[in-house]
Amino acid sequence: MTISTVFDHFRAVKAWTSRHKADAQLDMNNLQLEVRCANRYFSFYPLFAATINGQLAHVPSLSESVVAFGGWRPYRTYVFALSTDKLLFKQHLAEVGLKTPQTWGPAEVPTRSYITKRSQGSFGYGITGPFRAGERPPTAAAPADKAGTVFAEEFVAGKIVKLWLWGAKAIFADVQEYAHITGDGVTSAGELARQKIHGDSGANVLADDSIVQACLALQGIARDDVPAGGRSLWIDFRYGRTFLSRQGRGRTANALPALQAQCGSQLGALQHAVAKALRQVAAVPLACSVDGVLDAHGQLWWLELNSNPLFPHYGYDAMLSDLFDRPAVEALSVGSGGRA
């Protein structure tokens, strides 16, 4: 999962204000930030990630349940149809010619490997599978979350992609491999998975044993089977579930340059599509993120739009430069579909 510490946010804002001779003030009563530059000012509102009833959620204020700081944005939380309903966003993608996995309704039998999810929800909760084509999921596997409509979605294997945008400009990307275990010829797949998950003190609470079992089953392995020495098996496909030890790890590097080099035209098309969607909400830039998959052929498949993601510290240069009409370190027109 993307790692931006509180100090990363402070450094990024400080670097911009120093470069442009701007002034920034932090109100410790509500942790709102005010930035003044070029005879104008903006107020920026904080966002946090909190653990509530054992699940992650985004909250606007600091409380005892907060576990991470998600940066500042120049507006309060916004929502709109394409960010709350995955099926509507998929329809939008299809209308503009972008790839998104095939879907099936509750009464249909998928003809390709698939997962099930609800049209509303976030953080990878309420997902089941993956299951083989033609195989119906166990009745008990229906997502517990009651929001939205249950549907089946084609399971596209590949690297996990999360792309952040400010308006129509991509500003940050995180690309993750699936969590893997490696057989030793002695230990069961289930025990190897348990050890792998236990090693990540930050995200082990996000593990789902039913998903681990489904992933192994799709690869022809049961949890009690002993995989051959050296055999690699993946045990989760959801963002943030890499289950890597966080000890000694630094901040997450921005994978956007490499992704642009590989999939520049696809990213450009996505930015145009998001800009079109966001114009339904406001005529000014807004922050958002889009979840996707990069398959083995270099094709990007887009899944859902998140209107209030934690803001990566890499994005302040684009955001502040845009708001105050100052030159950015990287021109806003590079790979962009224009202002949202």
- Partners of 48 in beta bridges: 59, 69
pTM metric for this prediction: 0.89
Specify whether the CB–CB gap between 233 and 226 falls below 8 A: no
Whether the per-residue pLDDT at 252 is higher than 80: the answer is no
Specify whether the CB–CB gap between 83 and 306 falls below 8 A: yes
Rounded Cα distance, 171 and 160, in Å: 17
Q: How confident is the model at residue 339 (pLDDT cuts 50, 70, 90)?
A: very low
Whether the per-residue pLDDT at 17 is higher than 70: the answer is yes
* Distant-in-sequence, close-in-space partners of 266: CB < 8 Å, separation ≥ 6: 98, 299, 300
Q: Phi then psi for 83, rounded to 5 degrees?
A: -95, -15
Tens of pLDDT, residues 45-96: 999 999 888 788 889 999 999 989 999 999 998 888 999 999 999 999 999 9
Tens of pLDDT, residues 155-171: 999 999 999 999 889 99
Q: How confident is the model at residue 284 (pLDDT cuts 50, 70, 90)?
A: confident
